[in-house]
Amino acid sequence: MRFALAIMATAGLCLTLGTASARDVYTAKKLATFPSDLTPTGLITSNNDAIYGVAYDYSNTSDANPAVTTWVYRVSKQGIITRPCPGQTGGNGDSVVFDNRGTGYTVGAKGILQFSDKAGCKQIASFGPDLDPKTVNGMLTMAPSGVVLGTTRTGKLFFVDFPHGTTKTLQTFKVPANGFLTGVAADHGDLLYGTFVASNASGAVQTTLFTYQLGGQYKPLNVFDQTVYADALTFGPGQMLAANNAGSYLLSPTGKVLSNSVPAQDYALTVTGNHVLYTYQTTTVTPSNPPSPVPVVTVNTYIGQSGLDGSGRAALVDTTAFGSAESRVATGSNGTLYLVMVGASGPHELVQVSDVTSGH
């Protein structure tokens, strides 16, 4: 947890939480507190005025049984947390996707799960015989045509064959030596963007960004000297963003770097019109009064807003009271923003702020 690490790095200092004083900065409020057995991933999604995601349950793990259980969770606009699907022991899912009817999908332990408010949850497809469940990535992608796509770390791209209740491989990519396929993300058409992450001969990490047209051609676009996962790609108007905590990029559709000044972040950046939403923290050290060997350290956390190229950065929402960001920013209806946060000693909380993007 990055907030806890920040405190550890200032051992011996007096730590206080500051409050934002900038003009027009909104203040987040708590919507829900996650139960202690759920550790949410950073990939939250808004659907029909509710927030969905996947959480890990480590409560039953042991040396003899190291398998983690994954849960799909739903947070209503009233802050009520429910679990639409049974826990998946050994499941690989780390996110959910929705089709245009509001039906959700995630990776289960033995196949693809489908869930909705009306129909409940069921396994809609088992993994095909050519897929090793242990290699299936947790990320699914919904193509605009309605095709549900997934990948394996070993280079297979598969789709969910609904009529036959199984998965079928569309393409097998050649994975670089000492590397793996992180997943694919669909643009507004049936063009897929994906990444391979590999270590070169000197041990340095490199990411290869590529495109694949469904039923068509594979094309490598660019190579980055840092890790970029497919779930950290976000599409904007005619451009896309690649997020990384060491530095993020604004890219053209051909993979050309248009700006390397985009805010750094662990999770995918959020695009609202021509703006980027991101999370960050500030740390201020001030001498104590009266003088003391222990200065005062003030940590503030925010949701920030900038242009797509990272210009014009400004604080938008003060989240200081809740600790450190543990997810990307999700957008709901009427300009509402959502974010998973965690304090130094827990628990995880879902916070929100209403009517933000509608006024900016």
> What global pTM score does this model have?
0.87
Per the CB < 8 A criterion, the answer to whether 277 and 304 are in contact is: yes
Per the CB < 8 A criterion, the answer to whether 348 and 328 are in contact is: no
Q: How many whole angstroms separate alpha carbon 357 and alpha carbon 179? A: 39
From first to last of its 360 residues, what are the pLDDT tens digits of the chain? Answer: 222 323 233 333 333 334 444 457 999 999 999 999 999 999 999 998 899 999 999 887 777 777 889 999 999 999 999 999 999 988 888 999 999 999 999 999 999 999 998 899 999 999 999 999 999 999 999 988 889 999 999 999 999 999 999 999 999 999 999 999 999 999 877 799 999 999 988 889 999 999 999 878 999 999 999 999 999 999 988 899 999 998 999 999 999 999 999 999 999 999 998 999 999 999 988 887 777 778 888 899 999 999 999 999 999 999 999 999 999 999 998 889 999 999 988 899 999 998 785 444
Angle at 147 between CA 75 and CA 223, to 5 degrees: 90
Q: How many whole angstroms separate alpha carbon 113 and alpha carbon 150? A: 13
Q: How many whole angstroms separate alpha carbon 337 and alpha carbon 320? A: 15
Q: How many whole angstroms separate alpha carbon 248 and alpha carbon 303? A: 16
Q: What is the 3-state secondary structure (H, E, C) of the chain?
A: CHHHHHHHHCCCCEEEECCCCCCCCEECEEEEECCCCCEECCCCEEECCEEEEEEEECCCCCCCCCCCEEEEEEECCCCCEECCCCCEECCCCCCCEECCCCCEEEECCCEEEEEECCCEEEEEEECCCCCCHHHECCCCEECCCCCEEEEECCCEEEEEEHHHCEEEEEEECCCCCCEEEEEEEECCCCEEEEEEEEECCCCCEEEEEEEEECCCCEEEEEEECCCCCHHHEEEECCEEEECCCCCEEEECCCCCEEEEEECCCCCCCEEECCEEEEEEEEEEEECCCCCCCCCEEEEEEEEEEEECCCCCCEEEEECHHHCEECCCCEECHHHCEEEEEECCCCCEEEEEECCCHHHC
Q: Would strands 314-318 and 26-27 be described as parallel, antiparallel, or unpaired?
A: parallel
Q: Would strands 14-17 and 296-307 be described as parallel, antiparallel, or unpaired?
A: parallel
Question: What is the number of other CB atoms lying within 10 angstroms of the CB of residue 67?
Answer: 13
Angle at 169 between CA 155 and CA 227, to 5 degrees: 25
CA atoms within 13 A on the CB side of 39: 9
